[in-house]
Structure 1
Amino acid sequence: MPDVSAKTPAGQSSPALSLDPAQVRISQRLETLKSTESGLTAAEAARRLAEYGPNALEDKTESKWRRLLNYFWGPLPFLIEAAAVISAVRRDWPDFGVVAGLLLYNAVVGFWQDNKAANALAALKKNLAPRARVMRDGAWTTIPAAELTPGDIVSVAAGQIIPADLLLVEGDYLSCDQAALTGESLPVSKKIGDDAYAGAIAKQGAMTGVVTATGERTFFGRTAKLVGAAGAVSHSQRAVTEVGDFLLVLAFFLALILVGAQLYREVIAPDDWSWDRVGSIAQYVLVLLIASIPVALPAVMSVTMAIGAYTLSLQKAIVSRLNAIEELAGVDVLCSDKTGTLTMNKLTVQSAISYGAFKSDDVLLFAALATQKSSEDAIDLAVMAALPAHDALDAFKQKAFTPFDPVSKRTISTVADASGGVRHYAKGAPQAISALVRPDSQTLQRYQNEVAALAVKGQRALGVAMSEDGARWQLVGLISLMDPPRADAKATIAEARKLGLEVKMVTGDDVAIGDEIAAQLGMGSHLLVASDVFKGDVKAGALPRSVVDAVERADGFGRVFPEHKYEIVKALQSVGHIVAMTGDGVNDAPALKQADCGIAVSGATDAARSAAALILTAPGLSTIVNAIRVSRQIFQRIESYIYYRIAMTLDIMIVVVASIVFFDFQPLTAIMIVALALLDDIPIMTIAYDNVPVAPQPVRWDMHRIFIFASLMGLIAVAETFGFLLIGMRWTLDDSLQTMIPIDPGQLQTLLFLQLAVGGHLLLFSVRTKKAIFAPPYPSARLFWAIAATQVVAVLLCLYGIGVDAVPGAAIVGVWLYCLLWVVVTEIVKMIYWRLAGRRDKHLTASRVALAG
């Protein structure tokens, strides 16, 4: 390394060693950074690391304690906490223990599942953490890139990711792919005195540089911070909010009626009222609200989605946000990268076209001779792999080599053969080779026609030339190159279409290349040039209808720059589509975050992975389609739980309020209500493993239908429970019935508790499928046995009087027979509803098709 240090070992400033502007700039920067040719000492590096922080993007993840405390904050936790406080004030310790246990249960389960997903993402980031070769204490060593600090001397070579912003101070040549950072389609040649940016990929050459910026101070980091403005609200969050609001309004309305009736009976009418009676009413109402409102809904969703996230991780997909799984279920448009997702991301030689006396094997051999064996460039690798014989180059020795640069667009090598003869070989862009050769007009016309014909097929052309003296060149031929489709891509796209998914190709390549690949994959040939759709005066967020219609109709887009991806997502979302977008670069991050489900493909940058909801660790589209299938199953499991939870809320609230208002009879004690909530929701967690079919079309939260069907099922459940209450009240007053099975009011409460526990779980078995309850898919073993165990617990509580009044075994059998009879009624109503809903859906679909036509 040349002595470009700004400080001598004695600490004195040294003058610039030359008047070369690059060397002057290096000297000035090194002086500012206080670095030397031997790098930093370990002690100095540690000090700077503490000052500047790690060389990584800031982790925005909330602390574990904060995430845990969030489960104790909000409308639903406040209700539970209020009930616990009132129970403690009244010294009703059994009720306090049950209520506090419910609060802790919801918090611990929700936190545990969210923490599992966060740990999975952290593990992925740790496994993907890059390393860097750095000079410390005068010796080269390899350390995690996160430990780099300004002033470090770093070596980078072909195939490596630039670990930090560097000022290049030594070396002959470095070609950097900065497409993920700047959108430049061609690698950029670097020389001494140039800057190299963190996140860029070294394609050719090797150089040494001094670290000038790390972490968020790098070009990479500053760009990634711009992502914050993008983002879409989760559909699941909106759905849960709507369900919660619906049940809160209903519950509070019924609670007001209950409070009014109880205050009149126990406080206003009697002459001997007391504050203890007021507290008793408040406690009972709060406990009733807790049991009625779906306090376990967030936990059920967390468990179900976390299990889905684990399933996806086994298929090489990491979920960074749990709600992304639900978003995937509704995706109807997938905007997919071409390279690496639909194709192999590996250029291959398709054919060699020779000119003059040369043969096709000569074209391939001479192209290989114009290549460095150590090159990692995609075109060079394709040329070397296409050689007819792998030992063909053994007889040649490369004497000199001029690498590719964006200006000349060609490589030139000087090669000596086994006899000592020297020749020159060149390969490069067709126009660069024709300018070098200057063929006659007839040959030039044929040459240009061949290049145009290859372009129509979506293939890239590479010209090859040879010279005896380095001055006069002969045209050897053309090589056609193409990134072939992945073997599974066509079948995967066909599967996606069966699932109602429209796949749009998004590629930075020319439309001709995109058309050829699309034709091979059966995707449609209506690809548009992105810059023609999104012209300079078009602003995202204010897109004219003509632009939105063009985006919606297109099969894909060519010549796409990263900023176009964001506009494509916004355009599709503006007309109601739920969009998944793939990407890998920093400039893709806004589009990934704006998309309903952003997908960072294999090899994506940290910024892209941070913005994405789904991170692929293996290439290809099949993982995404598998994720969509899994997400639709998860969606149906959550939807089944919501049907059940709304119906049970209606059942408990209406029956309790009606029996107190009309009969002055309290059907359930506070402990029974909380026990019901636990008996209902603990086994329901296993719904995350339930067997459900994959929906044939994208699924969305149809809240209108959810509320109608759930309310219908709730009214059937109310009729069932209220009918049982009327039978029980008659039974307690009829002497002849009492002689058969004696039942007092306290035991009637126990039997109502059991009927709600039995009827509620039988209702779940009914609403979990749109088919008959005994038709496949059958409940999973985990769900079935969890509910069976819960029912055993409920029966034992009632039989032995644990926390309730004991009842005879014959009465328990009667409750079960009664509930089973009502299953028939529920099934008949359910089947009629879904048949009518299916007819309505077909009619609406036919109407939309007719309007579209």
Structure 2
Amino acid sequence: MIEAAAIISAIINHWDDFAIIIALLLFNACIEMWQDRKASNALAALKKGLAPTATVLRDGKFTTIPASQLVPGDIVKVRLGQIVPADLRFTGGDYASIDQAALTGESLPVTKKIGDEAYSGSIVKKGEMTGVVIATGSHTFFGKTAKLVASAGGESHAQKAMFKIGNFLIVVAVILAAIMVVFRVYNDYVSHTFGVTTALNILQFVLVLLVASIPVAMPTVFSITLALGALNISKKKAIVSKLSSIEEMAGVDILCSDKTGTLTKNKLTLGETTLINAKDLQDVIFIGALASNKDDNDSIDNAVISALKDQDRLKDWVVDKFIPFDPVSKKIEAHLHNKTSNEKLWVVKGAPQVIAKLSNNSDVQNKVKDTTAQLAKRGYRALGVAESKDEGKTRIVLGVLSMFDPPRDDSKKTIEECKREGISVKMITGDDTAIAIETAKKLGMGTKIYNASQVFPKDLDPNNVPDDLAKLIAGADGFARVFPEHKYAIVKTLQKQGYIVTVSTTPQL
């Protein structure tokens, strides 16, 4: 209608009106284009920095190529520190420890062996393996998530409001213009005075009515306001890819937040230590630190070493032999001797059930089992520690270490601020339900968290969720063990119920 008003201005030679209307339209378009280009450039720079490469077998030898050039069937090699370039099925190598927290929410790296799958975007923390590419691009586990998120978007509420206002005014203006035109034409026709001059006068009056009735400057004012908001937000290191998202964020009712790396630090920390045969907590941590390799930068080893108060104690011991973690034996072992006394010490740490079997004492085994079960209920990871001073003839189980992914320092405060603003926060994570509930308790969130694999049917249609499940989604405080289709179904269902929903997640960079 605004463009039609500009054309009518040109027809009746009202060039000043024409210039003003065209200027407003161009200004509004330029503001949108400038902001979109600015956001696109920033996002392109980020993508360029994150674009992974792949070591692929081509023409009988391994070469490095951009990951975007991979195709299903390619043989790819991954090793420590690399980003998995596509969805793979491992076909060779001993094992690989892979951090897939950004995709599945699991706070600990997952050990992979031959036959297991690795997801695109996850990070190799240990080991080296080869695998065959089974999916690329939008067909990968991560790609499906991105595709679902892209299709879940919709028209912003501000745009809907503007269209409603604009449409109402247009209808009123058109009706008034039609009544006026019919009345004037009928009058002039009856009086036989209708002609070109009369028609131009009618057209001029219609133009005045249209320009006066339709808020020509409204889109421009709206765009300028949002552009200024985007500029202000950019100073806080945030990228606004769509101007309408600013207004949309301001009206959010529900925040669906990931756990690992978003609400939590994605950094393992030592929790409480249960003593079995040791007398002091630090003694258990010390033996656990001796059975660690700092150079591997393993998250579990780093957590144990960091918890040792007296780091100088480690300097007195020399490693004679180090047996790294084996996914079959599920333990790490180190043989050491003391620089001063030449005392020999064998230390071992690993899965509690494995460490417990090193002792012939049934009471010790039962205590380790009970401790591990109690920690599991609270969502903690458990790690057994044992030592031998007679070169492995007898093993003494010292204790059980517990580990958890602590909340970020600002998470609790942020959630409290959300609640004060009337925003409901729901935790959506791929981690275990027990871990999600324990984290929720620490953050002051609700603990009505369901296991998604148990409440969502296997043949789920994300766009048509049953009414009983929709009510459960609205009343839940969160979901654990979620997959991409679950996240999509949760967000889409809440949107259908009239909520403005935002999803918060921190990529693993």
Cα distance between partner residues in 1 of 2:191 and 2:420: 69
| Residue 21 (structure 2) aligned to one of 99, 102, 108 | 102
3-state SS of the aligned residue for 1:374? Answer: helix
Cα distance between partner residues in 2 of 1:219 and 1:341: 20
Cα distance between partner residues in 1 of 2:448 and 2:19: 61
The structure whose Rg is larger is 1
For 2:232, give the aligned amino acid.
Answer: T
Task: Tell me which residue corresponds to 2:468.
Answer: 546
The within-5 A match list for 1:232-271 is 232-265=154-187, 267-271=188-192
For 2:8, give the aligned amino acid.
Answer: A
8 Å contact 1:175–1:203 — kept in the other structure? yes
Give yes or no for the alignment of 1:370 onto 2:295. Answer: no
Query: Aligned-pair RMSD on alpha carbons?
Result: 3.9
Cα distance between partner residues in 1 of 2:68 and 2:450: 45
Q: Deviations over 1:794-851 (max 9, x none)?
A: xxxxxxxxxxxxxxxxxxxxxxxxxxxxxxxxxxxxxxxxxxxxxxxxxxxxxxxxxx
Cα distance between partner residues in 2 of 1:261 and 1:355: 99
3-state SS of the aligned residue for 2:277? Answer: coil
3-state SS of the aligned residue for 1:463? Answer: strand
Cα distance between partner residues in 1 of 2:147 and 2:300: 34
8 Å contact 1:152–1:210 — kept in the other structure? yes
The within-5 A match list for 1:631-670 is none
CA positional deviation for 1:289: 0.7
Give yes or no for the alignment of 1:396 onto 2:339. Answer: no
Give yes or no for the alignment of 1:454 onto 2:375. Answer: yes
8 Å contact 1:462–1:478 — kept in the other structure? yes
For 2:362, give the aligned amino acid.
Answer: S
Task: Tell me which residue corresponds to 1:319.
Answer: 240
8 Å contact 2:86–2:133 — kept in the other structure? yes
Give yes or no for the alignment of 1:120 onto 2:39. Answer: yes
8 Å contact 2:104–2:429 — kept in the other structure? no
For 2:43, give the aligned amino acid.
Answer: L
Task: Tell me which residue corresponds to 1:83.
Answer: 8
Change (3 A) 1:387 1:156: farther
CA positional deviation for 1:307: 1.8
Q: Deviations over 1:666-694 (max 9, x none)?
A: xxxxxxxxxxxxxxxxxxxxxxxxxxxxx
3-state SS of the aligned residue for 1:476? Answer: strand
Name the structure where strand makes up a greater proportion of residues.
2
Q: Deviations over 1:215-238 (max 9, x none)?
A: 567665566446554333322232
CA positional deviation for 1:126: 0.8
CA positional deviation for 1:97: 4.5
8 Å contact 2:107–2:260 — kept in the other structure? no
For 1:96, give the aligned amino acid.
Answer: W
For 2:206, give the aligned amino acid.
Answer: V
3-state SS of the aligned residue for 1:528? Answer: strand
Greater RCO (CA < 8 Å, at least 6 residues apart)? 2
3-state SS of the aligned residue for 1:392? Answer: helix
Cα distance between partner residues in 1 of 2:148 and 2:291: 42
Change (3 A) 1:82 1:143: farther
Gaps of 5+ in 1: 1-74, 137-141, 584-600, 605-853
Q: Tell which deviates more after alignment, 383-392 or 227-236.
A: 227-236
For 2:479, give the aligned amino acid.
Answer: F
CA positional deviation for 1:166: 7.0
Change (3 A) 1:573 1:470: farther
The within-5 A match list for 1:463-502 is 463-467=384-388, 468-469=390-391, 473-502=395-424
TM-score, normalised to structure 1, is 0.52
Q: Deviations over 1:140-198 (max 9, x none)?
A: xx999578667999875433323456798997653223455578786454578987553
Q: Deviations over 1:52-102 (max 9, x none)?
A: xxxxxxxxxxxxxxxxxxxxxxx442x134314423xxxx2xx13431441
Change (3 A) 1:146 1:452: closer
3-state SS of the aligned residue for 1:116? Answer: helix
Name the structure where helix makes up a greater proportion of residues.
1
3-state SS of the aligned residue for 1:496? Answer: helix
For 1:560, give the aligned amino acid.
Answer: V
8 Å contact 2:451–2:481 — kept in the other structure? yes
Cα distance between partner residues in 1 of 2:120 and 2:423: 37
Change (3 A) 1:160 1:376: farther
Gaps of 5+ in 2: 58-62
Task: Tell me which residue corresponds to 2:480.
Answer: 558
Cα distance between partner residues in 1 of 2:106 and 2:408: 25
Change (3 A) 1:341 1:442: same
8 Å contact 1:548–1:571 — kept in the other structure? yes
CA positional deviation for 1:363: 1.6
3-state SS of the aligned residue for 1:437? Answer: coil
8 Å contact 2:53–2:64 — kept in the other structure? yes
Q: Deviations over 1:354-381 (max 9, x none)?
A: 3224532232122223322223332222
Q: Tell which deviates more after alignment, 162-171 or 389-398.
A: 162-171
8 Å contact 1:82–1:286 — kept in the other structure? no
TM-score, normalised to structure 2, is 0.83
Q: How many residues align?
A: 501
8 Å contact 1:533–1:550 — kept in the other structure? no
3-state SS of the aligned residue for 2:396? Answer: strand
| Residue 98 (structure 2) aligned to one of 153, 165, 176 | 176
For 1:414, give the aligned amino acid.
Answer: A
Cα distance between partner residues in 1 of 2:334 and 2:449: 43
Cα distance between partner residues in 1 of 2:88 and 2:489: 33
For 1:231, give the aligned amino acid.
Answer: G
8 Å contact 2:40–2:241 — kept in the other structure? yes
Identity of aligned residues (%): 44
| Residue 518 (structure 1) aligned to one of 431, 436, 440 | 440
